[in-house]
Amino acid sequence: MAENRPANKVGPIKYLGQVRQEGRKVVWPTWRETVMTTILVMIMVILMGAFFFVVDWFVATGLRLVLDLFGVSRGGGAV
């Protein structure tokens, strides 16, 4: 059976020192990488928005045709 040992506790000052050490290891993206990634994200958002717009339009049109075929009133319109 595994024995329960207390976790290796570190004081707040030592903890903050370790955080700074780890922070120095971080490799930040270059400005060019950041700009290119941002542009790619914007393009993908526009493409996905257009895709879902078209899919929604086809589903709504198809549903409207099926409901009209069976004579079901859509309702919801202002008089």
Q: What percent of the chain has pLDDT over 90?
A: 72
Tell me the torsion sign for CA atoms 47, 49, 55, 61.
Answer: negative
Tell me the torsion sign for CA atoms 19, 20, 22, 28.
Answer: positive
For residue range 39-69, what is the model confidence (pLDDT) as tens digits? 999 999 999 999 999 999 999 999 999 999 9
Distance between terminal CA atoms of the chain? 76
State the pLDDT at residue 75: 64
For the chain, strand residue ranges (E) read none
- The pTM score is 0.60
pLDDT of 33 over the 80 cut: yes
State the pLDDT at residue 76: 59
Average pLDDT over residues 13-33: 94
**Would you list the domain boundaries of the chain?**
30-71
